[in-house]
Amino acid sequence: MIAWVSVWAPDAILTAFIVFCRVGACLMIMPGFSSARIPMQVRLFVVLGVSLILTPLVAPTLGPIVAGADLSRIVFLIVTESLVGAQIGLVGRLFFLALQTMGQAIAMFMGFGMMAGVALDEPEPVPAMTTLIMTTATALLFITDQHWEVIRGLVGSYAVMPPVEGLSARIGLVRLADGLSAAFALCLQIAAPFLVFSFVMNLAFGITNKFIPQVPVYFLSLPFMLIGGLFTFYFLSGDMFALFTGRFGAWVMGG
């Protein structure tokens, strides 16, 4: 029994560590899990727990590769698994980075661009409206149980990107490009109503200023921009977040 354990244990520990490389690299970048507001120890324990839970599920695939591998092969697995996990997490991160960019544009369109707030994941201040949008989107990631879909997707990634093949640079770049395109197309669709609102309001007050130059249009238009922007956000926020959550969930489940 002791001899069997002494032979089996090193391979099991190494298999768990290889799983930790992919899971840790993904969750280190994936929105929600990677927030700097979560203590580092908590994030580490989450990654360790998820890795230990997933190890028995992927052991039939990963175990034979690890068993009997030499040092160069182990280093190759550590590097490639970390890159694969980082790629998965980065594509998910692109959706939230695109939403943050469009959130800053929405705040500017509504007239809240100069009202700085505390960023959710960034050290630099961002408009308070952007913080509200990002906080809501991150909360919905957990409320809708999409964090479980992320973990399920990590298990499925071993069938799509098996460790024996490593990371293909061409396929990785294609996935990143497709994710970036889908993320910004989605967020442009979300920000489009606010762009139209800003264009119409600025056009109306520009024409007013042309006909009545004595009126201080900037100070007159600001309350209308703020109130109109808040009403637009109030009526469209449900559809905005439903659209974003649905598209992000479709990417998580479909990869």
What pLDDT sits at residue 255?
A: 60
| Cα distance between residue 205 and residue 90, in whole Å | 42
Range of lowest pLDDT (90-99, 106-115, 242-251) = 106-115
Contact 132, 147 (CB under 8 A): no
- Which residue has better confidence, 10 or 29? 29
Which residues, including other chains, have CB under 8 Å from residue 85's CB and lie 6 or more apart?
21, 22, 23, 24, 25, 26, 27, 154
The confidence band for 3, taking pLDDT boundaries of 50, 70 and 90, is very low
Does residue 2 surpass a pLDDT of 50? Answer: no
Supply the pLDDT for residue 202.
Answer: 84
**Taking the domains of the chain in order of start, what are their residue ranges?**
2-254
Say yes or no to pLDDT of 120 above 50: yes
Nearest 10 degrees: Cα torsion 25, 172, 189, 198: 80
Q: Residue range 112-119: average pLDDT? A: 71
Considering only residues 241 and 1, tell me which one the structure prediction assigns the higher pLDDT: 241
Computed over every residue of the chain, the mean pLDDT equals: 82
User: Are the C-beta atoms of residues 94 and 179 closer than 8 Å to each other?
Assistant: yes
Return phi, psi of residue 126, to 5°: -130, 165
pLDDT tens-digit readout, 156-215: 888 878 776 666 667 778 888 888 888 888 888 888 998 898 888 888 888 887 877 777
What is the spatial distance between Cα 161 and Cα 107, in angstroms, rounded to a whole number? 40
The pLDDT assigned to 9 comes to: 62
Residue 125 has pLDDT above 60, yes or no: yes
Per-residue pLDDT tens over the stretch 172-181: 788 888 888 8
Note the pLDDT tens digit of each residue in 46-100.
889 888 888 888 888 787 777 777 788 888 888 888 888 888 888 888 899 888 8
What is the percentage of the chain residues whose pLDDT exceeds 90?
2
